[in-house]
Amino acid sequence: MMGLALVRGMAFCYSYRPDKAELNNELGMIMAYELAPLPYSKDALEPHIDAATMEIHHGKHHAAYVANLNKAVAGNAALENKPLDQLLASLSTVPDNIRTAVRNNGGGHWNHTFFWKLMGPKAGGAPTGALAEDLTATFGSVAGFQEKLEAAGLGRFGSGWAWLVVNRSSKLEIISTPNQDNPIMDGSGLPVLGVDVWEHAYYLKYQNRRADYLKAWWNVVDWSAVAANYAAAKK
């Protein structure tokens, strides 16, 4: 599969003509956004997140967001070439007739890309350093933060996400968003950590027990990735 940077570069080259292998969607157009492979094997998060869930979640759900985002922006070069976070931060400038599709599918693409990188094999444990100190200062303890994040996820009616963000006041805050919305869309914060509470994220293994999924999820959280997000958000 071609890399995104290469596809984008070629979009600006007038002499470039794609060959058949590069016409990689059913509309016969070059894809603006691409699904990256999972950064680990689909069974790497067992037993907490099962391989079947990972396969469907990444290979079907996330893939569908990417495909539908590409369909929505097809033919609009300005949108096709915009970095996804900038696209989501400027939804009000997206044409009315595709704005909802860009919001839902662009949000889905961004959120899942972020989510996969928060998890890893042999992860879990506890945060360290500035992240641990600031979580403790803000929420009383790391365990207190975890309880509040789980409560935000449990309290989200229907489908959505619970997030730890650095808010506009540069403080850590827990928020929740519906559907595939995220804190970039309204500028409420820069995501540090986010957990998917759509049923597709847990139903095969946990059925209706969202609380059990949320508790188990901490076993696959890669705190070094979370700490890197925190450092970036604080800049």
Please state the closest distance from residue 194 (CB atom) to Mn ion, in A: 10
Among residues 114, 161, 198, 202, which is the contact residue for Mn ion, using CB under 5 A?
A: 198
- Which span (4-12, 70-78, 91-99, 194-202) binds Mn ion, by CB under 5 A? 194-202
Identity of the residue, 110 or 198, whose beta carbon is nearer to Mn ion in the bound complex: 198
Please state the closest distance from residue 62 (CB atom) to Mn ion, in A: 7
Identity of the residue, 127 or 191, whose beta carbon is nearer to Mn ion in the bound complex: 191
Q: What is the DSSP string of 110-150?
A: HHHHHHHHHB-TT--S---HHHHHHHHHHHSSHHHHHHHHH
Helix 142-155 crosses helix 210-217 at what angle (to 10 degrees)? Answer: 150
> Is residue 9 classed exposed, middle or buried when 0-12, 13-18 and 19+ CB atoms within 10 A define those classes?
exposed
Please state the closest distance from residue 107 (CB atom) to Mn ion, in A: 11
Identity of the residue, 113 or 188, whose beta carbon is nearer to Mn ion in the bound complex: 113
Please state the closest distance from residue 57 (CB atom) to Mn ion, in A: 6
181: contact with Mn ion by CB under 5 A: no
Identity of the residue, 62 or 82, whose beta carbon is nearer to Mn ion in the bound complex: 62
196: contact with Mn ion by CB under 5 A: yes
Please state the closest distance from residue 214 (CB atom) to Mn ion, in A: 14
- Which span (29-37, 138-146, 156-164, 199-207) binds Mn ion, by CB under 5 A? 199-207
Of 73, 71, 107, 69, the C-alpha closest to 88 is 107
Q: Are the beta carbons of 124 and 219 closer than 8 angstroms?
A: yes
Of 216, 212, 204, the C-alpha closest to 47 is 216
Identity of the residue, 172 or 182, whose beta carbon is nearer to Mn ion in the bound complex: 182
Closest-CB residue for Mn ion?
196
End-to-end Cα spacing for the chain? 34
Of 201, 45, 229, the C-alpha closest to 123 is 45
Report how far residue 29's alpha carbon sits from residue 104's, in angstroms, rounded to the nearest whole number: 21
User: Contact residues for Mn ion (CB under 5 A)?
Assistant: 196, 198, 201
